[in-house]
Structure 1
Amino acid sequence: MADTTTSVTPGYFKVAGREFPKINWLKNRNLRTTYFMLFFVMLTSATNGYDGSMVNGLLTLEQFTGYMGDPSGSIKGLFSGILFLGSLAALPVTPYIADGLGRRWGIVIGSTIMLGAVALQSASINYQMFIAARFFLGFGVAIAHGAAPLLITEVCHPQHRAVFTTIYNTTWNIGSIIAAWLTYGTNNIDNQWAWRIPSIAQALPSILQIIFVWFVPESPRWYISKGQPEKALQVIAHVHAEGNHEDELVQLEFEEVKETIQIEKEAEQTGWLELFKTKGNRHRLLILVSAGLFSQWSGNGLVSYYISGVLDTIGIRDSDTKLKINGGLNIWNMVVSTTMCFFVEKIGRRPLFLISTGGMCLTFVIWTILSERFAATQVKANGSAVVAMIFLYYTFYNLAWSGLLVSYTVEILPYSMRAKGMCYVFVMVDIALFFNTYVNPIALGDIAWKYYIVYCVWLAFELGFIYLFYIETKNTPLEEIAKYFDGNAALVGGHAATEKGAVIHQEIEDKRANSVAEEHIETK
């Protein structure tokens, strides 16, 4: 597939066909403050990471499994899986909150629900109560997760959008690290607090988000969609040009965003089924659905939620050793995934996806062979080599999937379909995670290493699919990415307007002029 992106002079970025010198955000007070506050918005993903690692850790604690009545494999699956059913239940209302009340309110509402769920989870007296709490936790996560990446991508300076939006999903690893090492520490507590303390600590990200999200400006695109262009201009100028409303970049951005959203409204492309109606939208839908599925159903779910069972198959059964491996892996994941965020504009999305998925496929095949050899020979070196392959597998996974899952899918969607379109991604994520968390412990228990063969075949399929359908979007402003999917039919306004965009914009202006003329006549 040919490279679709436009070239940009080194040291510059492009908006509406014009190049602007890159800026250092650390030297701009408003940008610096906004990006610092956006870190708290990113904690939504960290909450997800904390949860997965916490459950992973709790299942290695005898204090937890004993208190819960030594649950079977299917009940263990529900401990994690019910979270994703809760998320699925929330998805139909998520875009209406983000689009109707605003991105910030979506984060606050989701975080508030999570706080209530954490309180119920921490006070659980049996596994039924614990599972019920986790359903509501998933409900809240979905609402916050449906708003947070939208706010980040719509507020960031065009030069930094790709990096910051990619960082969003990698904060999953921060939460995962904290939970992994916290459960390792509480393992030394010989009572119920060994698992209740990690559960209570899960409330902290939500508390921080509720407090700090109000220091982040609301999305200027949301303001325009609600008929408040003055507020939108104020936000763009404040964040991107230190308050200078007359800055050339600010004016270009504002006109492009304003006209594009007006054109999308005029075309009435806002429903759930819009992604099925045109060739370009169907291409988007293929990417959204596949990315959600591939990100979670590539073998990573085996380790993310059931590392204990994976390590059992290679003879590592000591809980202390398991917790150390889990904690070390999460630190490694954070280092790799965060580093790669700064290369998405240099290397490009498509090459990263291909290298990442190809590497995962190769390492998973080796992982499977080594697991079979250990099962056949019980040679400890084969088991140790499997641990090395797990680290190498995640190195490849983190090249792309940790960060680009959200940043790539959110950027290919026009504003009018962005909140609803991301729901398609999260539906597939939740379906894949529910399947993984419910089926994986059963499959690992019944057929052990043979279950890995399924993922070897699937990863080869993923690689082919990505090669055929994933396109490059680097060095392209948010609104203008539509051109790669829709060509001249893309609904883009401003100085980068397409033929169709210009026609619709002129129709809007003609209607406005006629309306003004009629009012003038009536006044006379």
Structure 2
Amino acid sequence: MGKDTFTLGGREWPKVTWWKMKGMRFVYLTLWAAMITSATNGYDGSLMNGLEAMDSWNESYNHPKGATLGLLAAAMSIGSMLSIPVVPYVADILGRRAGVVVGCVIMLFGVAMVSIGYRIALFVVGRVVLGFGLGIAQECSPLLVTELVHPQHRAVYSSIYNSLWYVGSLIGACVALGTNHIVGSAWSWRVPCLLQGIPSLCQLVFIWTVPESPRWLISKGRLEEAKKVLAYVHAQGDEDDELVNVEFDEIQQTIELEKEFEGNNWTEFWSTPGNRHRSIILISIGFFSQWSGNGIVSYFLPQVLDMIGITNSNTQLTINLILSAVNVVSATGICFFVDYFGRRKLFLTSSVSMLVCYVATTIALARFSVSDAAGVSNNNAANAVIVFMFLFYIAYNIGFSGMLVSYSSEILPYRLRAKGLTLMFFCVDLSLWFNQYVNPIALDAIGWKYYIVYCVFLVFEIFVVWKFYIETKEIPLEEIVKKFDGDRAILGGAAASEKVQELTGAHGRSASADGGEKAVTSQIEL
């Protein structure tokens, strides 16, 4: 494929310039209303680091440590896990936009409870409610982004979505650092908690400027609306545009064939080799996103800095702020090169680099601990910990920041996309719950030795990525099924395989949207 073209339906098409196309320009500039869900999540991660470093917050809750601190941090993940039974049905029944609205309304209730939070129980319940709403919104938002943008831009926009976690984290770090100077008042921690509701309020207003997913509209039989959306976003409103017609035919036929020849219940995830392969990726990427060692610093940075003798709250908050800024640049920057390097190569590079950084950090922590026990200050070891902490996050962002959601979304066929993302987010929440509850206990109990556990796990991670993660570079969304299911893939339009044309021919299926005969595919029972 040439650098100035992209492939769809077995053909090459000229690439477009988004800011020169009216509809595409408007949608891409308003798409932030869906994408800031990730920033809301990131704000919370940074917020907890900030609160833990604030004397006023610690005094309000009697200096929580160990299991109590773990419960306070993990409450949001528990809420997200509780939302799992309803999330895919909200996304598939109400729609992607309505799902974001439902999630935001629930989050606002949680923000109110956390901000009031004059007792630990109310703070915990508020974070559970906040997590429940976030669990709904954080699944519907990336679905809307992935299913709406032009095929040429899917990798960039869907990867940027999850990278905005760090934008929220940076804002949270700035707010915490600023309000920490409100001395002798609980408002130093209540203000950051209240500000967590601003993104949800903005989404409630502006999400309606973003069109609904054309794939969801097609699944509900609203074909005219779906084609108008495709035309508006991809072809300046021209419903007769050839690319729009090829897209529309491929999406419509694929969704219809999925309904006829396959189900969309949970058993589908282990019913075929292709779906089992998808499940391995979804489960592993969910755990790897949090169990690569990043969970220690993301939520318990003050404890890590305490281990190397940095105990001043303003210094800790400043390091948190700088780390958030580095993460914003590295995570969003790599999104523009996903289609250049490819997903598999970036995942492997990320995993190997994280292992190298984590081994170096573990050695530095061990040396500092030995020196500290002998009553000697080892500034070199402390500085090495900080340097490799920053390098580790750059390595992590190469693969698991932006592509966590984008890769998980694109490897799934439409009928399983909402449930598949739910499975992935369940693994994320489960690993977060473990991290947030167990990490502070482990750090208190064995200190730097806990880092060895993650060094070993990263070796396992590298093997899984090498063995199971496949390349989806520059492949249209519907056509990725061929990478998993081969000739048995369900795929409508011109890209269908001959083998399944025969199967669908036996069922009398051969009509297209314009009355012409189109090749379609279906999956044979395995």
- Please classify the TM superposition score into its range, dividing by the shorter chain length: over 0.9
Aligned to 2:491: 492
Alpha-carbon offset, residue 500 of structure 1: 5.5
Displacement, 1:399? 0.6
Q: Name the CA shift for 1:64/1:211 in 2 (closer, same or farther; >3 Å).
A: same
* Correspondences of 1:418-429 after superposition (within 5 Å): 418-429=417-428
Alignment of 1:96 onto 2:89: yes
1:316 to 310, 319, 323: 310
CA deviations over 1:273-321 (Å, ceiling 9, x no partner): 1010000000000000000000001100000000001111111111111
The alignment of Structure 1 onto Structure 2 pairs a total of residues equal to 506
Q: Residue 33 of structure 2 contacts residue 210 of structure 2 at CA under 8 Å; is this kept in 1? A: no
SS of equivalent to 1:317: coil
Q: Are 1:477 and 2:476 counterparts?
A: yes
Are 2:86 and 1:87 equivalent residues in the alignment? no
Residue from 280, 284, 300 that aligns with 2:294: 300
> Within the alignment, does 1:140 sit opposite 2:133 as a pair?
yes
Preserved contact between residue 80 and residue 131 of structure 2 (Cα < 8 Å) = yes
Do 1:292 and 1:426's aligned partners in 2 also have CA atoms closer than 8 Å? yes
Q: CA deviation at 1:502?
A: 2.9
What are the residue-to-residue correspondences of 1:270-309 with 2, within 5 Å?
Answer: 270-309=264-303
- 1:152-189: CA deviation from partner (whole Å, max 9, x where unpaired): 00000000011100000000001000001100111111
Superposition TM-score, scaled by structure 2 size: 0.95
Match of 2:451 in 1: 452
1:297-354 deviation per Cα after TM superposition (whole angstroms, max 9, x unaligned): 1100000000001111111111111001000000000100101000010000000000
Q: CA shift at 1:227, angstroms?
A: 0.9
2:39 corresponds to 1:46: yes
Gapped runs of 5+ residues in structure 2?
Answer: 373-377, 513-526
Mind listing any 5+ residue stretches in structure 1 that lack a counterpart? 1-7, 514-524
Distance 1:510 1:242 in 2: 32
1:181 aligns with 2:174: yes
What residue in structure 1 maps to residue 49 of structure 2? 56
Amino acid at match of 1:106: G
Superposed CA RMSD: 1.3
Q: Alignment partner for residue 333 of structure 1, among 320, 327, 341? A: 327
- The one-letter code matched in structure 1 to 2:481 is A
Identical residues among aligned pairs (%): 49
Deviation at 1:83, TM superposition (A): 0.7
**For residues 356-394 of structure 1, what are the alpha-carbon distances to aligned partners after superposition, in whole Å with 9 as ceiling and x for unaligned?**
010000110000000000001131111011000000001
Change (3 A) 1:73 1:163: same
Query: For residues 201-231 of structure 1, what are the alpha-carbon distances to aligned partners after superposition, in whole Å with 9 as ceiling and x for unaligned?
Result: 0001101111111111101110111111111
Using the TM superposition, give the Cα deviation of residue 505 of structure 1 relative to its aligned residue in structure 2, in angstroms: 4.7
User: What is the Cα deviation at residue 508 of structure 1?
Assistant: 6.1
Q: Which amino acid aligns with 1:463?
A: I
Moved more, 262-271 or 134-143: 262-271
Give the aligned partner of residue 230 of structure 2. 236
Q: TM-score scaled to structure 1, two decimals?
A: 0.95
Q: Secondary structure at the match of 1:14?
A: strand
Alignment-mate amino acid for residue 264 of structure 2: T
Q: Where in structure 2 are the equivalents of 1:171-250 lying within 5 Å?
A: 171-190=164-183, 191-250=185-244
State yes or no: 1:442 paired with 2:441: yes
Distance 1:382 1:163 in 2: 38
The letter of the residue matching 1:358 is V
Match among 6, 11, 30 for residue 4 of structure 2 = 11
Alpha-carbon spacing, 1:185–1:248, altered in 2? closer, same or farther (3 Å): same
Q: Please give the alpha-carbon distance, in whole angstroms, between the structure 1 residues aligned to 2:263 and 2:71.
A: 38
* 8 A Cα contact 1:491 1:500, kept in partner: no
Which amino acid letter does the alignment assign opposite residue 372 of structure 1? A
Q: Secondary structure at the match of 1:494?
A: coil
Q: CA deviation at 1:506?
A: 4.0
Q: Distance in 2 between matches of 1:507 and 1:134?
A: 54
Instruction: State the alpha-carbon separation in 1 of the partners of residues 509 and 190 from structure 2.
Output: 64
Q: 2:337 aligns with which of 338, 343, 368?
A: 343
Matched residue type, 1:306: F
CA distance in 1, matches of 2:186, 2:110: 19
